[in-house]
Amino acid sequence: MADYAQTWRRELRIHELVEIAKKEIEIGTEINKIYEILDDVIYTKWRSIPTTRRAYIESVKKNLINQYMIAV
């Protein structure tokens, strides 16, 4: 049961990060700056270690790419 809670929590966090990234993209923020903002949010809000932060950012990148491909 603990695995399900961790997966659910991770998905919620990724969804929240994708929403932040979308807002920044709409504003016209540079992509590298967006990743810095996301990294800062992950660290300050959830105190994640660097490998977890990288994994979250990679998941956000994949999610944004998939959404862009569907929109095209």
- Model confidence at 72, pLDDT cuts 50, 70, 90, reads very low
Q: What is the pLDDT of residues 9-67, one digit of tens each?
A: 999 999 999 999 999 989 999 989 999 999 999 999 999 889 999 999 999 999 988 87
Number of Cβ within 10 Å of residue 38's Cβ equals: 21
In sequence order, which residues have a C-beta less than 8 Å from that of residue 69 and are 6 or more positions away? none
Residue bearing tokens 């967006």: 34
Residue bearing tokens 């999610």: 63
Number of Cβ within 10 Å of residue 12's Cβ equals: 10
Half-sphere exposure in the Cβ direction for 57 (13 Å, CA) = 20
Q: Is this model's pTM higher than 0.85 or not?
A: no
